[in-house]
Structure 1
Amino acid sequence: MSTLSASQSPVTVVGLGLMGQALAAAFLANGHPTTVWNRSAAKADALVADGATLADSIRSAVEASPLVVVCVSDYDAVHELLDPVGASLAGRTLVNLTTASSTQARETAEWATKIDSAYLDGAILALPQAIGTADATLLYSGPKAAFEEHQAALQALGETGTVYLDEDHGLSALYDMSILSIMWGVLNGFMQGAALLGTANVKATTFATLANTAINVTTDYVSAFAQQIDEGRYPATDATVAIHMGGMEHLVQETVALGVNTELPNLFLDLARRAAADGHANDSYAAMIEQFRKPSI
């Protein structure tokens, strides 16, 4: 009688949206017997053609594998699907790759403990087409023993980007939200710049090259400012908050003159003025962290 290695252990994937399909396909491609389930069974057709098994119910899907991976629209959907089959999850490891807050992740971990299921909360930092490649990064938090037991299987989703964070179930979600704030910050800054240059008939595709250069240069600031933030000291080794504030005033003036939306540059300027009022005018821009730590007014 043959036995499967840890790297070929059975896996169940619940939820077959674009990301769920990519997850299941990656498990299949790496030799894992893969059971799938989705409310709309037709979404499994291509996966079944490639060798996946379509479960006839959510219960049979859960009971098919020691590792159950769920990726659906939100945590309400997670509980709507899994609460009724909680008894079947006992003794199994549940990996939840659904996007949510750290509070929801920790609450779901408490629920999993009550039904005797090992629970890993995860975050996917990749587009569906990157799953299973070196470009995919997935974060996991929860019991380390559960992660190590299924690490070989999870590496099918991103071998070099499979990252275990901590026992705190909420940490993967917290990282996810923090990284999304960077993404939206960068993209909104690019949109602002593209709108400004658009008034001079400069195409966004033309701007993109220099925009990417600016983004890459900014990574050096991130590394330098991170150390200052951790130390709680903000020596101005380059430009002070006051100097940045002067530049922001020019940006606001330019947007007004060109008839471009001023909300984003005004937000920058407002935060910098608050930092200066709090005594950080002559500190490095890293001192702005003190404004972001405060609750909104």
Structure 2
Amino acid sequence: MTKIKASEHRIAVIGAGAIGAAVARRLLADDHDVVVWNRTAGRTAALVKAGALPAGSVKEAASSATLVLLTLTDYVAVQQCLAELDGDLSGRTIIAMCTGTADDAHHAAQRVADLGASYLDAGIQTSPEMIGTDAATILYSGSRSAFQRHRAVLGLLSTPRFVGDAPQAAAIWDLTLFGLWYDAQLGLLRALDTVRETGIDVTEFVDTAVKQLGHVVTEAPGTASELLQATYPAGPATLAEHLTVIRHLIKLRGGQTLGDGGLPVVAARIEALLAQGRDGEGLTATIATMTNRTSA
């Protein structure tokens, strides 16, 4: 195979899974010079047929491009690929595009810095089929200058959003959003399981569940404002009133398949706040610093 010569306009896509293939195809559709590599070489065949250059190694792909997209399964694969790179990669930007932890992103950023390249972490809040549409969102953090330099290209893939200079910011934002979905979905499943076991009509219950979940969504900006201003008005109930309901829920959820949702921890937290004389505050106070606070 002929060695690929470096080009300042080339983009390397490392990993030809669902996301990687969608990314490469979108870039090719916009007439970009794309080089691809995948550990299982056969997976790049369709992309090569569509116009991409096949690289013989991660190192060849990365050294021939100025923008390197690591569209891989996880950070284990990211670190494995980064370990195969050496020499001076200054002038290049390497973006890890997968879900992982803050530590994962931090370690990847350190390795990329050792190589002399700029690093961006990317949290992909979209499915492969949505890549290249306005509905897709990809979060980026790390080198702000690298983000601005490649923003036009990144804008071909999604609505790009820069969320912080810390390399781990996108990973935290991305994972926290997933966590929010799991919390809501598992909470719904727990509720449906409870009413089903009791013999309540699940379909009728869902109508009221939608309204209840809507209250959380509607009040989200206000809740964020309370947190930022460090003021915790009682709202629909005081902490003491919340504690009564939470204790009832702990009993109701006893022995459930999906557990109690961590409510005993919440109850203990409220009890500690009440012991400080903060009974007039609302539920947002449970995530506030307890030290040196007086009742609102």
Provide the TM-score with structure 2 as the length reference: 0.83
Q: Which residue of 2 aligns with 1:264?
A: 260
Rounded Cα–Cα distance in structure 2 between residues aligned with 1:289 and 1:261: 27
Residue pairs, 1:233-252, within 5 angstroms = 233-252=231-250
Partner of 2:3: none
1:276 to 271, 274, 277: 271
CA RMSD of aligned residues (A): 2.7
Structure 2 residue aligned with 1:119: 119
Counterpart secondary structure, 1:13 = strand
Q: Once the two structures are superposed, what CA deviation does each residue of 1:202-255 show, in whole Å capped at 9, x if it has no partner?
A: 457x76665444433312222111111112221113222232333333334444
Per-residue deviation, 1:173: 1.4
1:25 is aligned to 2:21: no
Runs of 4 or more consecutive aligned structure 1 residues displaced over 4 Å after TM superposition: 201-204, 206-213
- Could you list the per-position Cα deviations for residues 117-149 of structure 1 after superposition, in whole angstroms to 9, with x for gaps in the alignment? 111111111122222112211111122211111
Q: Which runs of 5+ in 2 are unaligned?
A: 1-7, 292-296
The aligned counterpart of 1:98 is 98
Offset at residue 182 of structure 1 (A): 0.8
Do the aligned residues in 2 keep the contact of 1:165 with 1:172 (CA within 8 Å)?
yes
Alpha-carbon spacing, 1:16–1:271, altered in 2? closer, same or farther (3 Å): same
Residue 83 of structure 1: how far off its partner (Å): 2.1
Residue aligned with 1:215, SS: helix
Q: Describe the SS at the equivalent of 1:86.
A: coil
Q: TM-score, normalised by structure 1?
A: 0.83
Contact 1:62 1:88 in 2 (8 A): no
- Please, which moves more after superposition, 139-148 or 246-255? 246-255
Q: Secondary structure at the match of 1:163?
A: strand
CA–CA separation in structure 2 for the residues paired with 1:269 and 1:23:
45
Corresponding residue for residue 64 of structure 1: 64
Q: Which amino acid aligns with 1:40?
A: T
1:132-143 correspondence to structure 2 within 5 Å:
132-143=132-143
More helix by share: 1
Question: How far apart, in 2, do the equivalents of 1:129 and 1:281 lie?
Answer: 50
CA distance in 1 between partners of 2:127 and 2:164 (Å): 24
Instruction: Tell me what 2:284 maps to.
Output: 286
1:1-297 to 2 correspondences below 5 Å: 9-87=9-87, 89-158=89-158, 161-199=159-197, 200=199, 202=201, 211-256=209-254, 260-261=256-257, 263-265=259-261, 267-279=262-274, 280-290=278-288
Contact 1:132 1:156 in 2 (8 A): yes
User: How much does 1:262 deviate?
Assistant: 6.8
Structure 2 Cα separation of the partners of residues 27 and 169 of structure 1: 25
**In the TM superposition, what is the alpha-carbon distance from 1:292 to its structure 2 partner?**
11
Aligned residue pairs total 280
Q: CA offset at residue 100 of structure 1?
A: 2.2
Do the aligned partners of 1:75 and 1:104 also contact (CA within 8 Å) in 2?
A: yes
Q: 1:252 to 1:291 in 2, by over 3 A?
A: farther
Q: Identity rate of aligned residues, in percent?
A: 28
